[in-house]
Structure 1
Amino acid sequence: MTRPTHRFRIAVGALVFFTVMVFAGCGDDTSSADEPVSLVYVSWTEGIAMTHVLQAVIEDSLDREVELTQAGGAAMAFSAVAEGDVDAFVDAWLPVTHGPLWDEYSDRIVDLGPVYDSTTVGLVVPDYVEAESVTDLADLREDLGGEIIGIESGAAINEQTRRVLENNGIDGFSVVSSGDAAMVTALQRAIDANEPIVITGWRPHWMWGRFDLRYLDGAKTGDTDVFGEPEQIRKLLRPKGRDELPEDVLRLLKRMHLGESEMESLMTAFRPGKGDLQATARRWIENHPAVVAEWLSHEEPPGDSGN
């Protein structure tokens, strides 16, 4: 038998290599499609609610596994998306509240558009508190113990509060870092005792439907450059998400949007003490079939769908 020539052996080797690479590539595509969809959230009520509803829709309607990661703050969530550690974050408040984080990470994040419009933030008091404006806080410093109850350390609204106080010449106050749940607990305790309290607040949040609250003039969205104009809650995707996520998941992320009444019902459903989060999410979905059907439509999302 004639031995194969050197040139023939090279040709066969190249063919084998090409065939292996083709099948390896096909294998990568399949495994990518089968990998769980990973979502990150921060322990703010709207973020918990939206993320768990999104998880339930992906699992039940798209038949795909979802992994959730809770971040210790917005900075960690932005970083996780930018580094590709998770697929998406659906609770970015832009352009003001999380503006500095967007400036830092925007070149490594894909913006998929808003999930909710017209948010507000600011300093919030129960209606019985004898202060109409942020400037009135100077007279209540002793009654308030020199404290304004904020959320987690490093949160933008905590720093915005310090700037508002400084801009109005109000000193002697500290912004106490806590968290969404701890802040609401402090609010409930103060209201039960009819004592004055000032917290960092925002809408949407279920506490507005539970308590009689109001923003302080001069310390809210639209009143000061610090809190800016009404914002949007936007959906952020990891850098390669558009190319690597399954098409149905990507389309769902783009189309997911909540109106004011839908967000209010979601906040009410996810009030603390309402039970298991996944069960709560599925109950909300059952009660809002038209909303979810719109998200699952195969049409391209109307209007702003991000960058």
Structure 2
Amino acid sequence: MRNKSLLIISIILILSVVAAGCSGNNNAKKARNIKLAYVAWDSEIASTNVVKQVLTTKLGYKVEMLQVDAGPMWQGVSDGSADAMVAAWLPTTHQSYLEKYKDKIEDLGPNLQGTKIGLVVPSYMDINSIEDLKKDETAKLVGSKIIGIEPGAGLMMSTEEVLKEYGLDKWTLLESSSAAMAQELQKAYKNKQPIIVTGWTPHWKFAKMDLKYLEDPKGVYGGDEEIDTVVRKGLKEDQSDAYTFLDQFNWTPDDMAEVMVEIHDGMDPEAAADKWISANEDKVQEWIKGIATE
């Protein structure tokens, strides 16, 4: 009888250990999630969706995308309410945010190089430099207005500095959104009307329209930039697979442009990301090299 009781107790203990192990595995799976912060710029919609789909389909993560403005994006990664972003435009555009949060984030370096920001006009306009905006005839052409994007964006802050440096105190930088700016540009371009917008490369608009940057002789916008991947402190320890992938994620302006054009032409962002991933499997495998995939 005593031996039977000991056997029953042993079985119960074994089942308890197995149950605890199963529970631990389930908790580990539930913990395999990540939050990506991004700004609704066409470039960042493309890159963040590609990153999301790789994390989801290749590494088995549950991904939450957090659409915010540039300031909250940086703050979110710094305070841990977001795990990562692939949208840090450096060294100029997001310089102020980097200086503010550099001790609270980890910069994994560039995921894309060869970007640029500045004032953009249709090529049919007979102006070539920001200095030309000082001319009365140029100001009259566009009503002394520049079509901008979201307030708080690094591009907007740089453009405000441009107005000061070039003495364009009578000019107005209109706040809108990336989508609204592109719509206004397309409408003006279709009718061959003059327009000046804040712009950046890569962007689908350069594939769809004949555009040019205005020269910036004072160098306020800086030179070519890069887009960095930034993660919260502790991600390497908490989500090592996601960290490794994000650290290895790297592509070209042409890669990004392919996804952007598909989205602009009406494809769902996730579908556009999946299409690019399927067509670039070798590159994706380099991003997840060294990770045990599901």
Report the TM-score when normalising by structure 1.
Answer: 0.82
CA distance in 1, matches of 2:221, 2:97: 15
The one of 143, 152, 155 aligned to 1:154: 152
8 Å contact kept, 2:90–2:226: yes
8 Å contact kept, 1:83–1:238: yes
8 Å contact kept, 1:143–1:196: yes
1:46 deviation in Å? 1.1
Identify the residue that residue 288 of structure 2 maps to in structure 1: 296
Identify the residue that residue 85 of structure 1 maps to in structure 2: 81
1:214 and 2:215 matched: no
After TM superposition, list the pairs within 5 Å mapping 1:95-114 onto structure 2: 95-114=91-110
Partner AA of 2:37 in structure 1: V
CA distance in 2, matches of 1:274, 1:189: 18
The one-character-per-residue Cα deviations of 1:108-157 (angstroms, maximum 9, x if unpaired) are: 00111111012111000000112111121233112201210011012222
8 Å contact kept, 1:121–1:203: yes
Identify the residue that residue 182 of structure 1 maps to in structure 2: 180
Compare 145-154 and 273-282 and name the one that shifted more.
273-282
CA distance in 1, matches of 2:223, 2:202: 15
CA distance in 2, matches of 1:175, 1:268: 27
1:65 and 2:58 matched: no
Compare 97-106 and 252-261 and name the one that shifted more.
252-261
Identify the residue that residue 305 of structure 1 maps to in structure 2: none
1:30 deviation in Å? 4.6
How many residues get paired?
269
1:257 and 2:276 matched: no
Which stretches of structure 1, 4 residues or more, deviate above 3 A after TM superposition? 26-33
Partner AA of 1:66 in structure 2: V
Compare 37-46 and 159-168 and name the one that shifted more.
159-168
Identify the residue that residue 45 of structure 1 maps to in structure 2: 42
1:224 and 2:222 matched: no
Identify the residue that residue 6 of structure 2 maps to in structure 1: none
The one-character-per-residue Cα deviations of 1:170-211 (angstroms, maximum 9, x if unpaired) are: 231110011111000000111112111000001011111110
1:29 deviation in Å? 11
Compare 169-178 and 92-101 and name the one that shifted more.
169-178
Report the TM-score when normalising by structure 2.
Answer: 0.86
SS of structure 2 residue aligned to 1:107 = coil
CA distance in 2, matches of 1:29, 1:169: 62
SS of structure 1 residue aligned to 2:140 = coil
CA distance in 2, matches of 1:114, 1:217: 25
Identify the residue that residue 11 of structure 2 maps to in structure 1: none
Partner AA of 1:141 in structure 2: A
1:95 deviation in Å? 1.2
1:77 deviation in Å? 0.2
1:289 deviation in Å? 1.2
1:269 and 2:262 matched: yes
1:33 deviation in Å? 6.7
Partner AA of 1:257 in structure 2: N
CA distance in 2, matches of 1:268, 1:88: 25
Identify the residue that residue 9 of structure 2 maps to in structure 1: none
Compare 274-283 and 89-98 and name the one that shifted more.
274-283
8 Å contact kept, 1:127–1:213: yes
After TM superposition, list the pairs within 5 Å mapping 1:111-122 onto structure 2: 111-122=107-118
Partner AA of 1:294 in structure 2: E
1:165 and 2:163 matched: yes
SS of structure 1 residue aligned to 2:198 = strand
CA distance in 2, matches of 1:113, 1:297: 18
1:78 deviation in Å? 0.3
Partner AA of 2:157 in structure 1: E
CA distance in 2, matches of 1:237, 1:207: 29
> What 5-or-longer segments of structure 1 have no aligned partner?
1-22, 300-307
> What 5-or-longer segments of structure 2 have no aligned partner?
1-19
SS of structure 2 residue aligned to 1:141 = helix
1:260 deviation in Å? 3.4
